[in-house]
Amino acid sequence: MANTFSLILVIVTLVTGIIWALEKFVWAKKRQQKLDEIIAQTQELDPSLQRQVLPQPWWVENSVSIFPVIALVLIVRSFIFEPFQIPSGSMKPTLLIGDFILVEKFAYGLKDPVTHTQFLSVGKPKRGDIAVFRYPPNPSIDYIKRVVGLPGDIVRYSSDKRICIQPKGTNECKIVQQSNRVRSNLKSNVAPMEQLDEQLGQVKHHILINPWRMDNPMNYKPRPGVNEWVVPEGHYFMMGDNRDNSADSRYWGFVPEANLVGKAVAIWISFEFNRSPDSVLPSWIPTGVRLNRIGQIH
């Protein structure tokens, strides 16, 4: 859907831009020339009648009016910030269903909004970043996860739900720091979840685990049964903060650098959708606003 909207936005901008340029540099001058000829023949012409004599077509007038707005939206959305909605709970407790976030598009390089070809390198993902990317098995879908493994890293995920990372060029696998295990008020079905503080690189954040649920390594990719991944060059290993309820790189593989969309930096609005089972309201209508969630994402 996001890719389709980008294509439509580019097409509308291109069409209205061409009409704007033709009006400014061709059509308007021709109308003025004809108007000057009429004035020369009639000696004078009431200014109120000038637009009626040579009117500007409605489709030209509308295109000229909306082109600057559409062009600005295209520039901001394609190269600066783009809004996204969180549709699932895979990034709890950091991001909740109903959060609307801003994604910094230029964080990982400037790309053509249609072909997604990078034309200017600006930066690379850092360990701990929350990144939006095109889902590798189906690039028409946008996913959001946390960057865990960088190119060349060796990533291990143990049965006690700890991450061990061996950075490229080193011989030591360092266990990612976890502390302050507390019971969360969030639940998975009927089992209470546990919330931990975790640190990836310089980024401190919270994660959720279900102490009663164990991963099945036979579902891991690309080597079923093996809980170790060597991140290829030009790729990244992503995981959700809701570790036991996240379809991530453990199950579908690495994210190519070309699939990166941007870095999630802020929540600009957050809606609640909690309602009783007997409610007659459609599921897409919010039941409240979580003002306390607005701000920077950690």
Residue type, 209: I
What are 164's strand-pairing partners? 156, 175
DSSP letter at 298? -
Here the tokens at position 62 are 């509308």
DSSP annotation string for 97-162: TTEEEEEEGGGG-EE-TTT--EEE------TT-EEEEE-TT-TTSEEEEEEEE-TT-EEEE-TTS-
Contacts of 253 (CB under 8 A, 6+ apart): 136, 221, 222
62 CB-near residues (< 8 Å, 6+ apart) = none
Whole-number Å distance between alpha carbons of 120 and 216: 41
**Of 76, 23, 77, 32, nearest to 51 (Cα)?**
32
The Cα 144–Cα 99 span in angstroms is: 12
Catalytic center residues: 90, 145
